[in-house]
Structure 1
Amino acid sequence: MTTVTYRDVTRIYPGATSPAVDGLSLEIGDGEFVVLVGPSGCGKSTSLRMLAGLEEVNAGQIFIGDRDVTDVPPADRDIAMVFQNYALYPHMTVAENMGFALKMQKVPKEERTVRVTEAAKLLGLEEYLNRKPKALSGGQRQRVAMGRAIVRHPKVFLMDEPLSNLDAKLRVTTRAQIAALQQRLGVTTVYVTHDQVEAMTMGDRVAVMKGGILQQVDSPLALYDRPANIFVAGFIGSPAMNLIQGRVVEGGLMVGDHLIDIPRDVLARAAGESSLTIGFRPEAARLSDTGAGVLLDTETVEELGADSYLYGKVAADAAAGSSDLDLPRVVVRMAARRLPRTGAQVRILVDPAAVHVFSDRTTERIS
């Protein structure tokens, strides 16, 4: 059984004023596909590189299975890494590239051939084994890099933004292939990306990081439905969750000139706060036909076929007395064919059951 455990792991780069990774504790199960995701500089690649042995661990421990590998050289950790750049040898054939690490380990030629052939079948590379990398497309080169990792039969796969050099269409197909391949092989995998759509579609669980600190780790659906704080709520989802500050009043929150009902017990949990942030997904709001709802100035409308997205801001005249609150852009998903014009004022109603409430003081989720 191969698990991966980060136990209060910290990495501080020389000369830095704050840790790149701060007290990371994370358990990854046997055969699990876990994605580390977050904005640039959040510590996700550093976390992966510490697991690979390419970065020093300043505090804490890292385990692969029951073995403490914190100070073990990279070559002795029984891991295989797939990088952002393919790092293929241009003078070698696909077969030679895939089998090179085995050759360095002095694996007999017959066994190397068997392993390379098996991996090529898994990846659909059989007809390309005698080609050089320059004769391959970007997606094919990425599969060769995957094959080079697979033939080693490692305990853990580590993937550092392996799809970032591919075009958008190829990324979609390749990420599906990687996820299916990982399930088939059953190898514990840690995958790093800045693309939250990639994270949500590939991982068994997703670990969201910000500023070197793990914010939340959960299944993709749980992250979408129950984000732990404002950062996770705004980061996960495409388009992102709408996050709007409202003034606390009797019975709920005032957003512009509209009262959004909030249960008393929820407001009680935020006693002493004059404002709270509500969150709702674009699909949780609809255009109002009653004259009630949050008043928006329509900025633009995107027509995507089956769905359309309206982008707007809380109308300035509706926000009187709320100028000190953050009133950002709001996105509403609509199925209507007759859409508001740019510049038009509309009102939207939000499904009360789909409203999330966050503390402005702590940014943590209240309800």
Structure 2
Amino acid sequence: MAQVRFDQATYAYPGADRPAVDGLDLEIADGEFMVLVGPSGCGKSTSLRMVAGLEPVTSGSIHIGDQDVTDVAPKDRDIAMVFQTYALYPHLTVAENMAFALKIAGVPRPERTARVAEAAKLLDLEGVLDRKPRALSGGQRQRVAMGRAIVRQPQVFCMDEPLSNLDAKLRVSTRTQIAALQRRLGTTTVYVTHDQVEAMTMGDRVAVMKDGLLQQVDTPLALFDRPANAFVAGFIGSPAMNLLAGKTAGDGVAVVDGVDIPIARDAAAAATGPVTLGVRPEAWRVVGPDEPGLPVTVQVVEELGADSYLYATPAAVDLGTRPAGELVPQVVVRLDQRTGLRRGEQVRLAVDPAAVHVFDGETGLRLGA
């Protein structure tokens, strides 16, 4: 086991107009489960491949433990990779697939057998060691791919969207198994996903990336509670945070579509121009027609039993005058009861000033505490 460190690590694909990863500074502690998350093309997979040695570093360096591995061959980095595709040998049994890398490395048969047995017990694969991959479910195949990595006893696990080929229900159960397994093994793990729910539930810390740049790295709850900018605010959380364009009016108030929204005074004092207000869906509350709040028109209500999601547009938006195909501003509200609301109804939404995140309208950076 060892720490992993990116030191101004940059990679630019030939002919690209900007680096895929640009000056990444990130330190992953020994035994930590670090998740790299972001939209497609943000550089998260490229960052992982730089650790594995599958992509060369254009500038900067990569360190594993005390060793600078920037120019070290992939086979000599002591890492194990788990890919999106299982990449199992169809003609080999589960046990043979798991032991293959050890056999190539010249590990004696008794030790290979012992390591495979230990990994199979951890992954609940003891009953399928003699089966071929075609006789396994998707979840079992993914566990075999994990087992193949575990038996190598590497310093670092590199996992590139390993759950993307599984159905939704299996993803949930498998991600909890992977997180629990990593904590039992204590192996430093770099995990890539585009699914922010995976990131929030699995990682000790989460690094959010956009356009090759690191936006913020922190614990999942810290990212949720105090996003550093509007991009992180909109990316972390499901459903996503509502982001509303407005302007400050002084005295702890911002104006959105002509409606006053109370905000923290320190954020209002820090604003010098347009602002973006961020409100989590669960922070809204529906208030009476005579109470102050943002008037919205109900478009869709999703009743999920335990709670409901209300999708609405600000009442100031005239849908009839908007060009076809133009995106309409939308407000999402999470309610913990069955609403009885119907499409076309108008309601007012209020929010506690402490629950309003304020971002600079031009830079997107967080304002205030």
Shorter-chain TM-score range: over 0.9
**How far apart are residue 292 of structure 1 and its match?**
1.9
Partner of 1:11: 11
SS of aligned partner of 2:295: strand
Alignment gaps of 5+ in structure 2: 320-326
Tell me which residue corresponds to 1:64: 64
Aligned residue in 2 for 1:267: 268
1:203-223 Cα shifts (integer Å, max 9, x gaps): 000000000000000000000
> How big is the shift at 1:44?
0.3
The Cα offsets for residues 271-302 of structure 1, whole Å up to 9 and x where unpaired, read as 2x1x2111011111110124320000111000
CA–CA distance in structure 2, aligned partners of residues 114 and 86 of structure 1: 23
Q: What residue in structure 1 maps to residue 140 of structure 2? A: 140
The one-letter amino acid paired with 2:359 is F
- Following the alignment from structure 2 to structure 1, what is the Cα–Cα distance between the partners of residues 359 and 317? 25
Normalising by structure 2, we get a TM-score of: 0.95
SS in 2 for 1:56: coil
With over 3 angstroms needed to count, the CA separation of the structure-2 counterparts of 1:292 and 1:327, relative to structure 1, is farther
- Shift of the 10–342 alpha-carbon distance from structure 1 to 2, 3 Å rule, reads same
Match of 1:352 in 2: 353
1:208 is paired with a residue whose SS is: strand
1:263 and 1:184 mapped to 2: Cα distance? Answer: 43
Deviation at 1:351? Answer: 1.5
Shift of 1:133: 0.2
Q: Which runs of 5+ in 1 are unaligned?
A: 320-325
Offset, 1:338: 3.4
C-alpha displacement of 1:357 = 0.3
The CA deviation at 1:98 is: 0.1
| Counterpart mapping for 1:14-29 below 5 A | 14-29=14-29
Deviation at 1:318, TM superposition (A): 9.5
Q: After superposition, what is the alpha-carbon deviation per residue over 1:101-131, rounded to whole angstroms, capped at 9, x for unaligned?
A: 0000000000000000000000000010000
Report the AA paired with residue 356 of structure 1: H
SS at match of 1:364: coil
1:243 and 1:328 in contact (8 A); partners too: no
Q: Conserved in 2, the CA contact under 8 Å of 1:160 and 1:192?
A: yes
Instruction: Say whether 1:230 aligns with 2:242.
Output: no
Structure 2 residue matching 1:163: 3-state secondary structure: coil
Matched residue, 1:40: 40
- Three-state SS of the structure 2 residue aligned to 1:117 is helix
Deviation at 1:339, TM superposition (A): 2.5
**8 A Cα contact 1:257 1:294, kept in partner:** no
Aligned length: 359
Contact 2:262/2:352 (8 A) holds in 1: no
1:236-247 equivalences in 2 (<5 Å): 236-247=236-247
Residue 361 (1) aligns with residue 326 (2): no
Partner residue, 2:287: 288
For 1:358, give the aligned amino acid: F
TM-score (ref. length: structure 1): 0.95
Specify the SS of the correspondent of 2:119. helix
Asked if structure 2 preserves the Cα contact closer than 8 Å seen for 1:42 and 1:209, the reply is yes
* Shift, 1:250, TM fit: 3.3
1:78-97 paired onto structure 2 within 5 Å: 78-97=78-97
Code of the aligned partner of 1:136: L
SS at match of 1:55: coil
CA distance in structure 2 between the aligned counterparts of 1:28 and 1:120, rounded to whole angstroms: 28
Q: Is the 8 A contact 2:250 2:269 kept in 1?
A: no
2:2 alignment partner in structure 1: 2
Report the CA distance between 1:141 and its aligned residue.
0.3
CA distance in 1, matches of 2:222, 2:28: 17
Q: Secondary structure at the match of 2:5?
A: strand
Q: Deviations over 1:331-365 (max 9, x none)?
A: 11112323311111110101211110000121000
Query: Which residue identity does 2:143 align to in structure 1?
Result: R
Partner of 2:323: none
Whole-angstrom CA distance in 1 between matches of 2:49 and 2:246: 42
Q: Distance in 2 between matches of 1:9 and 1:263?
A: 38
Question: 1:74-113 counterparts in 2 under 5 A?
Answer: 74-113=74-113
- String of CA shifts for 1:134-184, please: whole Å, max 9, x gaps: 000000000000000000000000000000000000000000000000000
Cα shift at 1:64: 0.3
Q: Distance in 2 between matches of 1:336 and 1:175?
A: 30
Structure 2 Cα separation of the partners of residues 263 and 279 of structure 1: 12
Task: Look up the equivalent residue of 1:364 and give its one-letter code.
Answer: L
Shift of 1:317: 6.4
- For 1:337, what is the secondary structure of its paired residue? coil
Q: 1:238-265 deviations in whole A, cap 9, x for unaligned? A: 0000110112223311122421123443
- Work out whether residues 264 and 354 of structure 2, in 8 Å CA contact, stay in contact via their aligned partners in 1: no
Runs of 4+ in 1 over 4 A off after TM superposition: none
Contact 1:7 1:62 in 2 (8 A): yes
